[in-house]
Structure 1
Amino acid sequence: MREPNPIRSAATVIVVRDGAAGLETLLLRRHSDIAFHGGSWVFPGGRIDAADYGSTELPSDPMSDGHEPAARVAGVREANEEAGLVLDPGELVPFSHWTTPALRVKRYATWFFVVAAPVGEVTVDGSEITDHRWMSPLAALDARDSGEIELPPPTYVTLRRLASSSTVAEVLKEAADAPYLRFEPHIHLVEGGFVSIYEGDAAYEDDSRLDAEAPRHRLYAVNPIWRYERT
């Protein structure tokens, strides 16, 4: 059996604001030539560099919780490089943690944080990031299902969670009160797409139980309309 590819640490920042019609979040469009989610709309973020640890070398274990301080630094740096935003690492609220599925060419252990939008305009770098939008979570999900935009599964699932809140204050409180959700998807191919199965699902360790009447935590990534289930 082929060994899983190595994992790099990364950080993502979910920037939210109170818009005229309710909660909005910042989405950035990655350049279509980028190998990892090229052309997709994502939250600001990227790899954690050695300098983010205050070191010249990367730690050997990318999965330990000891990476969180460096992830905050990296998230702030990436938000500035990609969107021109100036954030305070101390204001980032832990939201979730995602590990790219095994056997993918590029794998990341990514710390997701949420933060209120700072004062200032968004300015994309024009190279790695080509466009930006402030969108309500539901509008972004509808845009994906209509084929207007592409969303990676972690972004889709995150937007589903954000959609349960109406204001920035509610998002930050929910994130602060909730357990630090961890996702390391197991992928099951189906006709027209795949099912991304998360820990807590009855089929997580045994995909023969995919149709069982049992606890579910999964994303049906089957076009045209994706479906997230968590019971």
Structure 2
Amino acid sequence: MTTPDEDLPLAGTVVLLRPAADGFQVLLLRRPSRGSFADAWVFPGGKVEQGDRQPGAAEVDDARRAAARETAEEVGLTARDLVPLSEWRPPAEAPVRIRTWFFLALAPDAEPSPSADEVVELAWVSPAEALARHASGEWRLFPPTWLTLHRLSTFADVDAALASGGAVELFQTQVLDEGRAFGWAQGTLHAHTLPWRFDPV
């Protein structure tokens, strides 16, 4: 029996942004070759744990605390002033179903120090460069990461990107065409061949 989306476990992830000569960059990390995101490039983050929960707090605040804690644990950076960007709900077919809140934050000046257990390598790249590496087959991305990068690639600088947060978008994922495409109210991601293509509604 499928668990209702509202009862699914929660997670939080942080899209760290820093200014760059050609606009801005985001921090992405490659997971080890095990687990649900084996060898994938993702933003730092992870599941909400008991210590992240506060009585009476909204779930977005629990997810924010988890996102900040996981970012500190995984890449050694303190993420502050996390702006909610989106909530991603997994398809019914997913073997592991977790609702994930995405947040935007300005990266601190400190250099990241990756956790050896959770991070194989780190990269500061523009959203366009990350998408290009995926399109060439060099990087593996999952649809929420790909679409977040795709949407961020339209902004010219950090301030514009950060301003896009605050009004949370809900992405209720549907698997289409036997797994070769993914659909949301916002549009359809065609993922059967590289490069992927997003058709907005």
TM-score by length of 1: 0.81
Contact residue 30 and residue 38 of structure 1 kept, 8 A:
yes
State the shift of 1:4 in Å. Answer: 2.0
State the shift of 1:133 in Å. Answer: 0.2
1:140-188 deviations in whole A, cap 9, x for unaligned? Answer: 0010010010000000000011001111111111223xx3110111101
1:63-105 deviations in whole A, cap 9, x for unaligned? Answer: xx920111111011000011100122xx111100001111311
- Cα-Cα RMSD: 1.7
CA distance in 2, matches of 1:67, 1:230: 28
CA distance in 2, matches of 1:27, 1:19: 15
Aligned residue runs from structure 1 range 5-20, under 5 A: 7-20=8-21
Contact residue 23 and residue 158 of structure 2 kept, 8 A:
no
Alignment partner of 1:143 is 2:144: no
TM-score by length of 2: 0.93
Contact residue 8 and residue 107 of structure 1 kept, 8 A:
yes
Percent identity of paired positions between Structure 1 and Structure 2:
34
Aligned residue runs from structure 1 range 149-228, under 5 A: 149-176=139-166, 179-190=167-178, 194-199=180-185, 217-228=187-198
State the shift of 1:40 in Å. Answer: 0.2
Count residues in correspondence: 198
Work out which of the two has the higher radius of gyration on C-alpha atoms and give 1 or 2: 1
2:61 alignment counterpart: 69
Contact residue 82 and residue 125 of structure 1 kept, 8 A:
yes
Contact residue 145 and residue 223 of structure 1 kept, 8 A:
no
3-state secondary structure, aligned to 1:129: coil
Contact residue 83 and residue 124 of structure 1 kept, 8 A:
yes
State the shift of 1:130 in Å. Answer: 1.1
Which structure 2 segments of 5+ residues have no match? none
3-state secondary structure, aligned to 1:133: strand
